[in-house]
């Protein structure tokens, strides 16, 4: 019998303007608790080191000033070299190309190094845009399924699953 590899310890997560707060903070809260019991590291990646806001065009249209800003630790240009897991949140902001262009380019280059790439909700659309899902089975949030499947250029096969959170494993 071969010994299974140790569980991953080097976690990354993606920030982009208009990301969905809970998509990111739900999974990270679980890992926050685990990291009080065993050594883990977290890197938060964004286009620049400026704080990234959840504000998006629907808030703007309402005149709402209701957003939270999270501080990145790394840029896409200078990421840690040894991330094992990457989490990609969804969010209304993902519906504007300019918010996720940098993310898509980063994923295209970094994806092959990862052990696991996890997406939440429309985060699957961002990953799909990078092309790494081409020819693979994947899914997304049922409520956003039409947008995800119609708007993607890549040719992956979308299947319904009951949960809006999916993991895609190499």
Residue 31 binding its own copies, by CB under 8 A: yes
Tell me which of 1, 2, 3, 37 binds its own copies, using CB under 8 A: 37
Other beta carbons less than 10 A from residue 136's beta carbon: 12
Angstrom distances, CA of residue 148 to CA of 12, 94, 99, 100, 138: 23, 10, 16, 14, 11
Q: How far is the CB of 67 from its own copies (least distance, A)?
A: 7
Tell me the two tokens of residue 85: 């897991």
Q: Map the footprint of its own copies across residues 55-84, applying CB under 8 A.
A: 56, 58-59, 61-71
Q: Looking at beta carbons only, is 56 or 129 nearer to its own copies?
A: 56
Interatomic CA distance for residues 107 and 168, integer angstroms: 14
Residue 41 binding its own copies, by CB under 8 A: yes
Catalytic (active site) residue 121: yes
Q: Which residues contact 31 (CB under 8 A, 6 or more apart)?
A: 11, 40, 42
Of 25, 117, 121, 154, catalytic: 121
Interatomic CA distance for residues 54 and 21, integer angstroms: 7
**Using CB under 8 A as the criterion, which residues of the chain lie in contact with its own copies when the complex forms?**
11, 20-22, 25-26, 28-29, 31-32, 35-42, 44, 51, 54, 56, 58-59, 61-71, 92
């Amino acid at each position: 019998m071969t010994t299974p590899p140790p569980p991953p310890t080097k976690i990354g997560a993606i920030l982009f303007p208009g990301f969905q707060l809970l998509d990111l903070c739900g999974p990270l809260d679980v890992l926050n608790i685990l990291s009080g019991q065993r050594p883990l590291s977290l890197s938060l990646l964004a286009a620049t080191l400026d704080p990234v806001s959840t504000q998006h065009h629907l808030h703007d249209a309402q005149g709402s000033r209701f957003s939270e800003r999270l501080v990145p630790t790394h840029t896409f240009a200078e990421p840690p070299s040894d991330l094992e897991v990457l989490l990609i949140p969804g969010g209304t902001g993902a519906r504007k190309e300019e918010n996720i262009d940098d993310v898509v380019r980063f994923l295209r280059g970094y994806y092959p190094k990862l052990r696991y790439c996890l997406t939440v909700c429309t985060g699957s659309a961002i990953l799909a845009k990078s092309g790494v899902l081409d020819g693979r089975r994947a899914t997304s949030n049922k409520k956003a399924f039409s947008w995800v499947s119609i708007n993607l250029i890549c040719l992956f096969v979308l299947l319904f699953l009951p949960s809006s959170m999916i993991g895609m494993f190499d």
